[in-house]
Amino acid sequence: MLKLNKRDTLLFVIVTAMVLLAPFLLNPFPQGSSMAQMFNAGYPDLMQRFVIFGILVIGFNILFGLTGYLSFGHAAFLGIGSYAAVWMFKLLSMNIIPALILSMIIAGIFSLAIGYVSLRRSGIYFSILTLAFAQMSYNLAYSVLGNPSSSYNLTNGETGLQLALDDPRILDGAAAANGALPVTKLFGLAMRDSYNLNVGGWLFTFNVGYYVAGILMLISFYVSIRIFRSPFGMMLRAVKSNQQRMNYTGLNTKPYTLAAFVISGMYAGLAGGLLSSMDPLAGAERMHWTASGEIVIMAILGGVGTLIGPIVGAGFNEYFKNILSKINDGVLHQWLSFLPDGLENFIVGILHYFVGKGWHLTLGLLFMLVIIFLPGGLVEGGQRLAKMFKSKKTDDESDSNNTPAE
């Protein structure tokens, strides 16, 4: 099917099913229960983030996973895509199609230029070059290019670029008549419209924006599988394993790596455009080096160079970020209220440092654990588990795989 081999087809079908059924899968707890309060993730904003960051990391994986070039400035393309999309909403139309197209084109142009320069170096020198370009973009977007009183206010600085009632919107300017800002839409479908389904105590939300982004993620995923399996993908892998040998054979690898860089930049641009389509505000923080670092973290968490890894990593990171930062002491007390008071206070006192304002600490620790014990990311963890179950009866030695390598 779809010119994929059997395993890839299976993978693609599973991912498709997960995307389509996410509103069910992500709301396992009945509405109103205290577990739902915290752990349910089936609300539009977070579901959208899952798939949008999925696209971003899938794109990053095409570059890093295949060629081994570690870009530490990938967030710049996300930011550039976001700004391009918001400008499209401001100037042309609230329809997301032109916005997405423009954000991919602009991100593509930027990645072509930055990639052309940065790919002249490899290893850490490449990483620092991309980092430097991204930090320059961030600093300029935050200040010089974002001063509302100057004539070149491209980014609106700290506040972020947002829609205004008096934007021209050449194609559908009349929509702003009632004093409310127009909403982003795909022809007639507004991105924020949702359909709610109540079943028993459960509430499932089907959000238009989520499904638009989800379908785009599936397309991106499909394209990425095809790239991984194509001769082009093989060439990129060859670059990763030994670029020098490739060069000795008389082959110029630069066009291949540059193509991978631009494709991956356009993925980031698409993700940025989608972020703006779901919520039309583009902030400069999206381009900060820590945001780039987060992309790398997501890719590694999931498993670099694997097909499904980026999606797993993005989902894992976004989920814990959103959930952990919202847990406060009151919630902890509520959960642990079945314990004796002294013990309850003691445990809350400890957990206090790991949730709410301490969510960075928890994520940092989790991330370290994954790198130390699962160099192949969560995907490797899953494979080890699967292997363990399969071979348990016949071969006990596979257990040793689960202990740290050193």
Partner 1 sequence: MSTSNLTRRGLIKNSAIAGAGFAAPTIFTASSAAAYTNEPTGGSVTLGFNVPQSGPYADEGADELRAYELAVEHLNGGGDGGMMNTFSSKELTGNGILGKKVEFVTGDTQTKSDAARASAKSMIEKDGAVMITGGSSSGVAIAVQGLCQEAGVIFMAGLTHSNDTTGKDKKANGFRHFFNGYMSAAALAPVLQNLYGSDRNAYHLTADYTWGWTQEESIAAATEAMGWNTVNKVRTPLASTDFSSYIAPVLNSGADVLVLNHYGGNMVNSLTNAVQFGLRDKIVNGKQFEIVVPLYSRLMAKGAGANVKGIHGSTNWHWSLQDEGSKAFVKSFGTKYGFPPSQAAHTVYCQTMLYADAAQRAGTFNPCGIVEALEGYEFDGLGNGKTLYRADDHQCFKDVLVVRGKENPTSEFDLLEVVEVTPTSQVIYEADHPMFAGGALGSCNPGA
Partner 2 sequence: MDQILLQILNGLDKGSAYALIALGLTLIFGTLGVVNFAHGALFMIGAFCAVTLQRILNISTITIDPTKTDFLGNPAKIKTPVVETWFGPEMGASIIDWSVPLAILFAIPIMAAVGFIMERGLIKHFYKRPHADQILVTFGLAIVLQEVIKAFYGANPIPTPAPEAFRGSFDFGTYLGYEANAIIYPYWRMVYFGFSAVIIAAVFAFLQFTTFGMVVRAGMADRETVGLLGINIDKRFTIMFAIAACVAGLAGVMYAPINSPNYHMGMDFLVLSFVVVVVGGMGSLPGAVLAGFMLGILEAFASMNQVKAIFPGIDQIIIYLVAIIIILTRPRGLMGRRGVMEE
Q: Using CB under 8 A as the criterion, which residues of the chain lie in contact with partner 2 when the complex forms?
A: 70, 117, 120-125, 128-129, 131-133, 135-136, 139-140, 143-144, 289-290, 293, 296-297, 300, 353, 358, 360-361, 363-365, 367-368, 371-372, 375, 404-406
190 binds partner 1 (CB under 8 A): yes
Write the CA distances from 323 to 16, 47, 84, 365, integer angstroms.
25, 13, 30, 16
95, β-bridge pairs: 185
Residue 274, helix vs strand vs coil = helix
From partner 2, partner 1, none, interface partner of 296 (C-beta below 5 to 8 A by class): partner 2
Q: CB-based contacts of 112: which residues, under 8 Å, 6+ apart?
A: 258, 262, 265
Q: Which helix (H) or strand (E) holds 363?
A: helix 359-373
- For CA atoms 331, 295, 299, 307, the dihedral sign is positive
| Partner whose binding site includes residue 401, from partner 2, partner 1, none (CB under 5 to 8 Å by kind) | none
CB nearer to partner 1: pick between 146 and 377: 146
Is 33 among the residues that bind partner 1 (CB under 8 A)? yes
| Contact of residue 124 among partner 2, partner 1, none (CB under 5-8 Å per partner type) | partner 2
Counting residues that bind partner 1 (by CB under 8 A) gives: 60
- In angstroms, what is the minimal distance from the CB of 31 to partner 1? 5
Q: Is residue 195 at the binding interface for partner 1, with CB under 8 A as the rule?
A: yes
DSSP H or E stretch at residue 206? strand 202-207
Residue whose C-alpha is closest to residue 54's, from 313, 348, 380, 387: 313
**Subset of residues 131 to 170 that bind partner 1, contact rule: CB under 8 A:** 139, 142-144, 146-149, 157-160, 162, 164-165
Q: Which of 12, 19, 23, 49 binds partner 1 (CB under 8 A)?
A: 49
Interaction of residue 325 with partner 1, rule CB under 8 A: yes
Residue 16 lies near partner 1 (rule: CB under 8 A): no
- Closest approach, Cβ 330 to partner 1, in A, equals 8
- What is the C-alpha to C-alpha distance for residues 268 and 273, in angstroms, rounded to an integer? 9
CA distances from 353 to 35, 167, 265, 343, 357 (A): 20, 45, 37, 16, 8
Beta bridge partners of 281: 162
Pick the stretch among 247-255, 262-270, 306-314, 351-359 that binds partner 1 (CB under 8 A). 351-359
- The nearest distance, CB 139 to partner 2, in angstroms, is 4
Residues 6+ apart with CB under 8 A from 377: 300, 301, 302, 303, 304, 306, 309, 312, 313, 370
Rounded distance between C-alpha atoms, residue 394 and residue 374, angstroms: 24
Binding site for partner 1 (CB under 8 A): 30-35, 37, 40, 43-46, 49, 139, 142-144, 146-149, 157-160, 162, 164-165, 179-181, 183, 190, 192-198, 200-201, 203, 205, 279, 281, 283, 285-286, 322, 325-326, 328, 330, 334, 337, 356-357, 359-360
